[in-house]
Structure 1
Amino acid sequence: MTERSGHTSGHTPGEALLDAIEPGAGPSAETSFVRDPLSWRSELRRQWGRRRTTWAFGLLLALPLVLVASFAFGQRSNNNRGGTTTRIFDLAQSGAANFSLVLVFLASELLLVLLAALFCGDAVPSEASWSSLRYLLIAPVQRARLLTSKLVIGVASTLAATIVLPAWGLFVGGIAYGWDPLTNPIGENLEWAQFLPRLALAMGYIFVTLLPIGAIAFWLGTRSDAPLAAVGGAVLVSILLNILDQLDALDPYRNAFPGHYSREWQDALAVSPDWNDMAHGVLWSLVWAVAFTMLAYRRFRRTDILS
C-alpha cells in the first residue's frame, strides 16, 4: 500500500478474489456480492477458518496442559528455593481457582498481547498479500465498511481468547487439582460465589488493556503489505513501552502508557479491592485504542491500494 491521490484500478485473478468474498463461491458470487458486500458472517468464517487462528487457539488450549505436566515433573525437584515465585506456583496446585489465576498471570504478560496483535493486525495486510484487497475496493465496498468488518472480527477473536483462557484453565485445574476456592499467598480466601464474578471482571479489564495493542497493530496493518510487520511491530511497541515504564525518571508521564496499569486486574481479586488504578487503566486504554483506530481509518481512506 502506498500513498497516492486518485482511485484504485487494475485487475487480479478472479478465482482467488471471489474466494475472498465468499469461500467456495461459484460464478454468481459477484452478483450476490453487490447486494450484500463483505458481510460480517463471511469475514468471521474466513478469519476463523484460517490456519493461524487454529494454531493460536491450539496454543492457548495447550498452555494449561503444559503447566500441569510441568508441575507433575517439578514435584520431584527441591522446591526450597525460589521465594515468592515458588510459593505462587505451589498455590497453583492447590485447586482450580488458584491454577486459573496463575495461568492468567502468565498468559497476560505476553501470549494474550501477541494474540491481540495477531487478530487485529493481520487481517488487512493479509488481504494485500493474497492480492484480493484491490478487488474488494474496486467492488462496491466502502473502505470504512471493509475496515470495520476486519476490526470487529479481530476484537471479537481477542475477546474469545480472554474468555477461553480462564474457562479452560478452571476446567483443567479442577480435573488436576480439585475444586478448592481461591487462596491468596497471605492465606485469605475467596469463595466461588465471590471469585467467579471477580474473575470475570478481571478478564474484562485485561481485554480492555489489550485494545491499545490491537489498535496499534490495526493501524500498522493499514500501512504495510506484510502481516508480520503489523503484528511484530505492535508487539515490539508493547515491549518498548514496558521497558520505558520501568524508568522512574519518566514519572508522572509513564502513567499514561498503554501498559502501565496492565497488572491492576489483580486488584479485582483482592479480598478488599481498590478500584482506583483499574479505573485509570480503563480510561487510558480506551484513549489509546480510539486514537490509533482513528489513525487507521484516516490512513486507509487516503491510501491507494496498489498491492
Structure 2
Amino acid sequence: MDGRSTPTTAKAEDAGRTGPAAGAGGSGWSMWASELTLLLRRRRTWAMLVALAAIPVLIAVVVRVSADPVQPGQGPPFLDRVTQNGLFVSITALVVTIPLFLPLTVGVVAGDAVAGEAGLGTLRYLLLAPVRRGRLLLIKFAGIAMFCVLATAVIVTAGSVIGALLFPVGPVPLLSGDTIGAWEALGRALLVGAFVSVSMLGLGAVGLFISTLTVVPVGAMAATVVVAIVMQVLGALDQLAWLHPWLLNYYWMDFADLLRQPIAWGSFVDSALLQTGYVAVFGALAYGRFATKDVLS
C-alpha cells in the first residue's frame, strides 16, 4: 500500500463532505437542504457571519463610549442618528459593509461553489450520482442566494440587538420627515436587508460562473472579489457615466427610498431587474461552461 486512497475509498470519504451528493437521487428540496447544511457546517461560513455581526457591535460600542457626539455629516450616513435611536445601528452597519465586507463574503461563497467541489474531487461523484448539471448549478446558486440572505440578516439582527441594549429605542424619524413606531421601523430595517440581499445576487451569479472556470477555489474567490472592486472603481469615474446604470453595484446604496413615507419602490424594482439580468446572463454562461466541462476523467 502506498497510502493513497483508491477511487472507492475517496468516494466514501467525500460523501460526508459534499452536500448535494447526499440527496442526488432525491427531490430538488432535499438537494437544496443538503447544500445549505454543507454551507452551514463550514467553519469558514460561521467565521464570516461572526465577522459581519461584529461590525454593528463595533460601531455601537465606539459611538457609545465616545466622549464627543457624532455630528451630522460625520462618518457614514445615519451614524449621527444612532445615539437618538438604536435601530439606526443596523442601517449604519449595512452602509459600512456594502462596499467591501459583504461582496468579500459573497465572493468567497460563490467562488467556492463549483471550484471547491472540483478541487476536492467530489464534483465527479456528484455528476455520476447522477445529477443533471443544470440542476446542480441551480442548487449551488440557491445556496449562494441563501448566504446573501443570512449575511444581511446577521447584520440587521446584531445591529438591532446591540442598538437596543446601548441606546434608546422609540419612534423613528424617516427621511421624509414622518415618524413611525419602533416595530414598524424594525420592519423597515428588514426590508432594507432584503434590498441588500437582492443586490448581491448578481455578484453571486458572476462568482458562480467564475467558479466553473477553475478547480482552484481560492482563485475563483479572489477573481469574484476583484470583479466587485472593479465595478465600484468604474462607478466612481464620471467619465463612464453612460456605463454606470449597467454596473451590478449601481443600486447597492439606493435603499434610502425604503426609509420614506410612503415607501418609494422604484429603486428596489430597478435593482431587482438589474440583478435578474446579471443572474440570467452569467447563469447562462455558467451553464454553457459547466455543461461541456470534463470533470469525469
1:42 has 2:43 as partner = no
Q: Is the 8 A contact 1:22 1:42 kept in 2?
A: no
Q: In the aligned structure 2, how far is the partner of 1:297 from the partner of 1:242?
A: 27
Partner of 1:115: 105
1:17 has 2:11 as partner = yes
User: Superposed, which structure 2 residues align to 1:1-12 within 5 Å?
Assistant: none
User: Superposed, which structure 2 residues align to 1:177-196 within 5 Å?
Assistant: 177-183=167-173, 189-196=179-186
Instruction: Give the CA deviation at 1:183.
Output: 3.7
Instruction: Give the CA deviation at 1:193.
Output: 4.7
Instruction: Give the CA deviation at 1:250.
Output: 2.1
Pairs aligned (count): 289
Between stretches 183-192 and 134-143, larger displacement belongs to 183-192
Amino acid in the other structure paired with 1:246? A
1:155 has 2:145 as partner = yes
- Per the normalisation by structure 2, the TM-score is 0.85
Q: In the aligned structure 2, how far is the partner of 1:87 from the partner of 1:123?
A: 34
Structure 1 residues 95, 299: closer, same or farther in 2, change over 3 A? Answer: same
Structure 1 unaligned runs (5+)? 1-10, 25-29
Partner of 2:206: 216
Structure 2 unaligned runs (5+)? none
Amino acid in the other structure paired with 1:258? L
Partner of 1:132: 122
Q: Is the 8 A contact 1:92 1:99 kept in 2?
A: yes
Amino acid in the other structure paired with 2:37? R
Structure 1 residues 79, 186: closer, same or farther in 2, change over 3 A? Answer: farther
1:241 has 2:235 as partner = no
Give SS of 1:123's match.
helix
Instruction: Give the CA deviation at 1:91.
Output: 1.8
Q: In the aligned structure 1, how far is the partner of 2:34 from the partner of 2:284?
A: 24
Q: Is the 8 A contact 2:77 2:92 kept in 1?
A: no
Between stretches 167-176 and 132-141, larger displacement belongs to 132-141
Instruction: Give the CA deviation at 1:253.
Output: 2.8
Instruction: Give the CA deviation at 1:240.
Output: 1.0
Q: In the aligned structure 2, how far is the partner of 1:114 from the partner of 1:155?
A: 14
Give SS of 2:244's match.
helix
Percent sequence identity over aligned pairs? 27
Higher relative CO (CA 8 A, sep ≥ 6), structure 1 or 2? 1
- Per the normalisation by structure 1, the TM-score is 0.82
Q: In the aligned structure 2, how far is the partner of 1:282 from the partner of 1:289?
A: 10
Q: In the aligned structure 1, how far is the partner of 2:23 from the partner of 2:76?
A: 57
Partner of 2:54: 62
Q: Is the 8 A contact 2:251 2:267 kept in 1?
A: yes
Instruction: Give the CA deviation at 1:102.
Output: 0.9
RMSD: 2.9
